[in-house]
């Protein structure tokens, strides 16, 4: 959990450093991904809107990521 929190804090400081990931879900336009520090197989999927970083999912890289994220919708909760 500490590694996840540290990685998210890094994204809050520099939100555009994650790689863009296009998955064909219009609700996730501008989706980016970044790996959790020291856990390269754990990926943080997030979107940036203004000064807000919204974490959509944290998934293991071996999961069917496209299938999972194609069904995802963006919620209105602000995380940072």
Which of 50, 45, 47 shows the shortest CA–CA distance to 4?
45
pTM of the model: 0.84
Sequence length of the chain is: 80
Whole-number mean pLDDT of the chain?
88
Which of 7, 3, 54 shows the shortest CA–CA distance to 28?
54
Q: Is residue 9 part of a domain?
A: yes
Q: Is residue 43 part of a domain?
A: yes
Q: Is residue 12 part of a domain?
A: yes
- 31, pLDDT greater than 70: yes
- Domain membership of residue 32 as a residue range: 2-70
Residue predicted with more confidence, 26 or 42: 42
Q: How many domains does the chain have?
A: 1
């Amino acid at each position: 959990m500490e590694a996840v929190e540290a990685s998210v804090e890094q994204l809050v400081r520099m939100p555009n450093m994650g790689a863009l990931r296009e998955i064909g879900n219009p609700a996730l336009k501008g989706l980016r991904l970044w790996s959790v520090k020291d856990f390269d197989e754990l990926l943080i999927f997030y979107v940036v809107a203004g000064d807000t970083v919204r974490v959509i999912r944290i998934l293991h890289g071996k999961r069917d990521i496209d299938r999972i994220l194609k069904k995802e919708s963006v919620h209105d909760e602000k995380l940072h």
